[in-house]
Chain A
Amino acid sequence: MSDGGSPAMGDNGSPAVGDGGLPASVEALRRVREDPHRLGHRPHGPREVVAGAGHGATGPANKRVIVGYGFWIFLLSDIIVFSCFFAAFAVQRGATAGGPAVAQIVDLNRVAFETAALLLSSYTCMLSFAATDARNRLWTQLFLLATGVLGLGFLLLELQEFAELAGQGITPQRSGMLTSFFGLVGLHGVHVAAGLLWLATMMAQVQLKGFRPEIIHRLMCFNLFWHALDIVWIGIFTIVYLMGSGA
């Protein structure tokens, strides 16, 4: 995230958007649209004073910065939960107790589709937020819907995988390796499911309440959450499936 925006930005730290959807001044428009971060154009040394960024000199940050910041910290803690499950998998991946090894249970074809669905959903999620930024309800909803459908597709593929494995008697109860495999992949799946529930709630809110500041903040948090799940999935994809298929 940027440092909360330049002084030309509005109360929420987003571009000050007037009724017609236009930024308050042409100057601000240039700065935000053409070079939003003004990389290389910002003075070095003591920063210019940015109201609402919470940098000490100017008093408490504005609500948007606070919400985003807090949610980032939550995400970090969630990633630590995942890291424990990753660690367990690393410790137990050889503990097959005479059962199947990792290479025997991964099906790269299905996982490729799962990965594609999830990555694409992150893209549509980002597009939905771009639409939110432009205060366009229709496109926000459509892209959120697309995100949800892709997420659901991912989840169904994963369930299919679990069901197939279970059909062959490959369950977490079989061995330490399978425990940590189902635990890690399942934890991610539970997160995706919770994300879908959240997403449905947000779509209802956007429809019924419109773009209120707090709803925009929640959409922003949802975006962060969804992208974080993507990042975790990349880890799972690589460490469990790709590296596993070779082992």
Chain B
Amino acid sequence: MLGKLGLSAIPFSEPIPLITSIIVILVALGVLGLITAKGWWPYLWREWITSVDHKRIGIMYCLLGVVMLIRGFADAIMMRTHQAMAIDAPGYLPPEHYNQIFTAHGTIMILFGAMPLVLGFMNFLVPLQLGVRDVAFPTFNSVGFWLTASGALLVNISLFVGEFARTGWLPYPPLSETTYTPGVGVDYYLWAVQISGVGTLITGINIVTTVLKMRCRGMSYLRMPVFCWTSLASCLLIVAAFPVLTATLAMLTLDRYLDFHYFTHTAGGNPMMFVNLVWAWGHPEVYILVLPAFGIFSEIFSTFSGKPLFGYRSMVAATLFICVVSLMVWLHHFFTMGAGAAVNTFFGISSSIIAVGTGVKVYNWIFTMYGGRVRFEVPMLWSMGFIFTFVIGGLTGVLLAVPPADFLVHNSMFLVAHFHNVIVGGVVFAIFAGMEFWFPKAFGFRLHEGWGKAAFWCAFIGFWVTFTPFYVLGLLGMTRRLQHINFPEWSPWLYLSVVGIAILILGVIAQVMQLVVSIRDRERLRDVTGDLWDGRSLEWATPSPPPFFNFAVLPDVEGEEAYWGIKLRAVETQQLAPEPDYRPIEMPVNSPVGICTAFFAAVFGFAMVWYIWWLAIVALVAAFAGFVVFAWRDVHEFEVPVREVARVDRARRAAREALLERMSRHGALP
């Protein structure tokens, strides 16, 4: 009846997961209780859970990502402190638990932390920047988000019920086959990643279609903001690479559940085939993450330098170049496979060539600042910290791309330092920069500046103190994923890294404080103009927060930097463009199909993990039935009456009049 599930699945004998589980469950119950007590459910259901508004979905993606980043960070603290305590000593995490932690850390940080955040930014921004009202498939957008959330849910359930994989974030066979990992850990990994992968693919298709087919009048390709370009490239990579992950994990699933021989080391299975396939997804994946980050930085550099982006066209070309070449370098993750000198040389060269595209971008950002009036606001601090950090990470990447050098440091702490250098310095810094930059757009008030600066400096210094020792440790010969350490010579570096993580903890506290303080002082921090950074792209033409239909009348773009052009014209003529002729607007209706499908997907995944076959079938049938009910509905859209459109837009115009007047009085923005 319950498959493999029984009371033994609950970790009664292991205090750390048990206590964490109890705390997490209590907090979750507390939050749910609070929502119930305050009667917020109807509001949440109507305005968020069933929402198909791309901005709401984007915000929920970001929220999910932030929560998971914190979970992953907790894992990181445990790993650092454990290793520091495990030098010729047992440490405090038993091996099977330590292995779960580094696996969960990698999986969560990349797939459930960084990915949702990046997708969240794309969702929120792309339609606004393109001057349209929604993405191409609003309801599927909601399905995609909720599927990602179900995946995250499954990973977290594995903490209390059963265990997580102990194989590393990419479950290499034959270790991940049932022969060597019989438990449910790898199955949790497989179903969680599979379900969220489908969600990611949906969002990828959505954004590609939106960018290619839904731009406002006059928004030709070479007038799109760079963030739209990088989102397009990233989503093209999603469409090209995520199916590879789906296929690879499906094969591993067949191996584990039905004794197939794709990757076994017996009966003609081929473990290296897994490694090849998974990296054919894995390397594009890192660019799926970092390309939108490049887009975020591009927007920030040009806004805070008060200049158009230097070399816009070369930026676009470099983005597409990286997009294509990133599909041709995967083998650099296993030069040691022994493919021979010719193959290794090819992939070594192709990997190094990617750095050329990135180099073009770095110079473009630097020249954007050159001669500009640079404002050192918090987003700009993160961006400048990014250039420094990312360049070093890229350089060590090029070093690793030289096969003979890689043979020495492959799978060492040097490698760990490299990818944290690029992912933290590139993606995570971009996320924080972008949050600082667009938070006022999303919520109508800006974040507290002092706490923001504190958070940046803690994160920047903390990052370097934590990760520089890894380079040294790697060169001293320390391999990655060590539960036990018997080289006392390494201890100073391991201790130094703990100091670093302490500084990073301060950074996280500063971030949380920033949010708390800003919410408390929101009236003082309110953004009434909708354009508080003196922005250049169309999202700044809307009020903060934008109405659900984004634009009362779709803009008509007449050049690069669409909104900057409109603004200049208003300043020159000392008046706004004449009031447009308002029309009623058709908007898609909300739909619970996303959350329903995701719920059944989570049940399905859970049932599969525990071999509860009847429940899996019930869940599949229910998910299909849900879709049929959705397909049967008669009302797809509702009409926003002219009166409402005009009311919202007149309020926006009034705020703009005031801004314009202030600008002409002071000669510049406030």
A80–B201 Cα distance when bound, in Å, is: 12
A84 partner residues in chain B, CB cutoff 8 A: 243-244, 247-248, 251, 277
A58, B205: Cβ atoms closer than 8 Å: no
A60, B243: Cβ atoms closer than 8 Å: no
B481 to chain A, nearest CB (A): 27
A84–B239 Cα distance when bound, in Å, is: 14
A56 partner residues in chain B, CB cutoff 8 A: 215, 218-221
A91, B261: Cβ atoms closer than 8 Å: no
Best-surrounded residue of A84, A175, A218 (most CB of chain B within 10 A): A84
A174, B218: Cβ atoms closer than 8 Å: no
B244 partner residues in chain A, CB cutoff 8 A: 80-81, 84
A2–B154 Cα distance when bound, in Å, is: 44
| Interface assignment of A50: CB less than 8 Å from any CB of chain B | no
A97–B260 Cα distance when bound, in Å, is: 13
| Interface assignment of B242: CB less than 8 Å from any CB of chain A | yes
B268, A92: Cβ atoms closer than 8 Å: yes
B246, A179: Cβ atoms closer than 8 Å: no
A73–B137 Cα distance when bound, in Å, is: 13
A176, B205: Cβ atoms closer than 8 Å: no
Q: Which segment of B206-214, B376-384, B600-608 sits at the interface?
A: B206-214
Best-surrounded residue of A60, A96, A172 (most CB of chain B within 10 A): A60
**Across the two chains, which residue of chain A brings its CB closest to B554?**
A59
B208, A205: Cβ atoms closer than 8 Å: no
A87–B247 Cα distance when bound, in Å, is: 11
B268, A96: Cβ atoms closer than 8 Å: yes
Contact of B201 (CB < 8 Å), options: A77, A91, A178 = A77
B248 partner residues in chain A, CB cutoff 8 A: 84
Main secondary structure of the interface of A (DSSP, over half): helix
| Interface assignment of B545: CB less than 8 Å from any CB of chain A | no
B74 to chain A, nearest CB (A): 34
B220, A57: Cβ atoms closer than 8 Å: yes
**Across the two chains, which residue of chain A brings its CB closest to B127?**
A60
A66, B136: Cβ atoms closer than 8 Å: yes
A88 to chain B, nearest CB (A): 6
| Interface assignment of B636: CB less than 8 Å from any CB of chain A | yes
A57 partner residues in chain B, CB cutoff 8 A: 217-218, 220
**Across the two chains, which residue of chain B brings its CB closest to A84?**
B247
A180 partner residues in chain B, CB cutoff 8 A: 262
Q: A56-B219, A61-B214 are in contact. Are A73 and B209 (CB under 8 A)?
A: yes
Q: A56-B218, A95-B270 are in contact. Are A66 and B209 (CB under 8 A)?
A: yes
B247, A201: Cβ atoms closer than 8 Å: no
A76, B239: Cβ atoms closer than 8 Å: yes
Q: Within residues 252 to 273 of chain B, which ones have a CB less than 8 A from any CB in chain A?
A: 254, 258-262, 264, 266-270, 273
A76 partner residues in chain B, CB cutoff 8 A: 239
B254, A81: Cβ atoms closer than 8 Å: no
A81, B246: Cβ atoms closer than 8 Å: yes
B215, A59: Cβ atoms closer than 8 Å: yes
B499 partner residues in chain A, CB cutoff 8 A: none
| Interface assignment of B339: CB less than 8 Å from any CB of chain A | no
A95–B269 Cα distance when bound, in Å, is: 8
A214–B137 Cα distance when bound, in Å, is: 13
Q: A69-B212, A80-B240, A201-B631 are in contact. Are A175 and B217 (CB under 8 A)?
A: no
A173–B258 Cα distance when bound, in Å, is: 8
B243, A173: Cβ atoms closer than 8 Å: no
| Interface assignment of B32: CB less than 8 Å from any CB of chain A | no
Q: Give A88-131 as 1s and 0s: 1 = Cβ < 8 Å from B's Cβ atoms.
A: 10011001110000000000000000000000000000000000
Interface size band for A: 35 or more
A92 partner residues in chain B, CB cutoff 8 A: 262, 268-270, 273
Q: Within residues 597 to 641 of chain B, which ones have a CB less than 8 A from any CB in chain A?
A: 624, 628, 631-632, 636
B205, A77: Cβ atoms closer than 8 Å: yes
**Across the two chains, which residue of chain B brings its CB closest to A61?**
B213
A177, B631: Cβ atoms closer than 8 Å: no
Best-surrounded residue of B220, B239, B260 (most CB of chain A within 10 A): B260
A117–B208 Cα distance when bound, in Å, is: 35
B267, A176: Cβ atoms closer than 8 Å: yes
A177–B409 Cα distance when bound, in Å, is: 36
Q: A84-B248, A201-B628, A214-B636 are in contact. Are A174 and B267 (CB under 8 A)?
A: yes
Q: Give A64-92 as 1s and 0s: 1 = Cβ < 8 Å from B's Cβ atoms.
A: 01100110011011101100110110011
B208, A60: Cβ atoms closer than 8 Å: no
B631 partner residues in chain A, CB cutoff 8 A: 201, 205, 218
A88–B271 Cα distance when bound, in Å, is: 11
B242 to chain A, nearest CB (A): 7
B205, A73: Cβ atoms closer than 8 Å: yes
A243 to chain B, nearest CB (A): 19
B632 partner residues in chain A, CB cutoff 8 A: 205, 209
A244 partner residues in chain B, CB cutoff 8 A: none
Q: A54-B214, A69-B213, A70-B137 are in contact. Are A175 and B268 (CB under 8 A)?
A: yes
B261, A176: Cβ atoms closer than 8 Å: yes
Q: Within residues 215 to 253 of chain B, which ones have a CB less than 8 A from any CB in chain A?
A: 215-221, 239-240, 242-244, 246-248, 250-251
| Interface assignment of B132: CB less than 8 Å from any CB of chain A | yes
B259 to chain A, nearest CB (A): 5
A97, B201: Cβ atoms closer than 8 Å: no
A229 to chain B, nearest CB (A): 16
B251 partner residues in chain A, CB cutoff 8 A: 84-85, 88, 183
Q: A59-B554, A70-B205, A85-B247 are in contact. Are A173 and B259 (CB under 8 A)?
A: yes
| Interface assignment of A197: CB less than 8 Å from any CB of chain B | yes
A70, B136: Cβ atoms closer than 8 Å: yes
A183, B260: Cβ atoms closer than 8 Å: yes
A179, B262: Cβ atoms closer than 8 Å: yes
Q: Within residues 32 to 72 of chain A, which ones have a CB less than 8 A from any CB in chain B?
A: 54, 56-61, 65-66, 69-70
Contact of A58 (CB < 8 Å), options: B217, B246, B268 = B217
Q: Give B521-535 as 1s and 0s: 1 = Cβ < 8 Å from A's Cβ atoms.
A: 000000000000000
B217, A59: Cβ atoms closer than 8 Å: yes
**Across the two chains, which residue of chain A brings its CB closest to B260?**
A179
Q: Give B136-177 as 1s and 0s: 1 = Cβ < 8 Å from A's Cβ atoms.
A: 110000000000000000000000000000000000000000
A170–B533 Cα distance when bound, in Å, is: 68
B262, A183: Cβ atoms closer than 8 Å: yes
A50 to chain B, nearest CB (A): 12
Contact of A179 (CB < 8 Å), options: B208, B254, B636 = B254
B267, A97: Cβ atoms closer than 8 Å: yes
A179–B274 Cα distance when bound, in Å, is: 14
Contact of A77 (CB < 8 Å), options: B213, B214, B243, B262 = B243
Q: Within residues 212 to 236 of chain A, which ones have a CB less than 8 A from any CB in chain B?
A: 214, 218
B136 partner residues in chain A, CB cutoff 8 A: 66, 69-70
B554 partner residues in chain A, CB cutoff 8 A: 59-60
B242 partner residues in chain A, CB cutoff 8 A: 77
B92 to chain A, nearest CB (A): 41
B636, A60: Cβ atoms closer than 8 Å: no
B580 to chain A, nearest CB (A): 14
A3 to chain B, nearest CB (A): 12
Contact of A59 (CB < 8 Å), options: B137, B216, B240, B262 = B216
Q: List 13 A-B contacts (CB under 8 A).
A: A57-B217, A60-B215, A77-B242, A80-B247, A84-B244, A84-B248, A92-B273, A95-B270, A172-B254, A175-B268, A182-B260, A205-B631, A218-B631
Q: With A78-B243, A81-B250 given, name 14 new contacts (CB 8 A).
A: A54-B213, A54-B214, A80-B239, A81-B244, A81-B247, A84-B243, A85-B251, A95-B270, A96-B268, A97-B267, A176-B261, A176-B270, A180-B262, A182-B260
Would you list the 8 A-B pairs with minimal beta carbon distance, nearest first? Answer: A176-B268, A95-B268, A84-B247, A54-B213, A80-B243, A56-B220, A60-B214, A70-B209
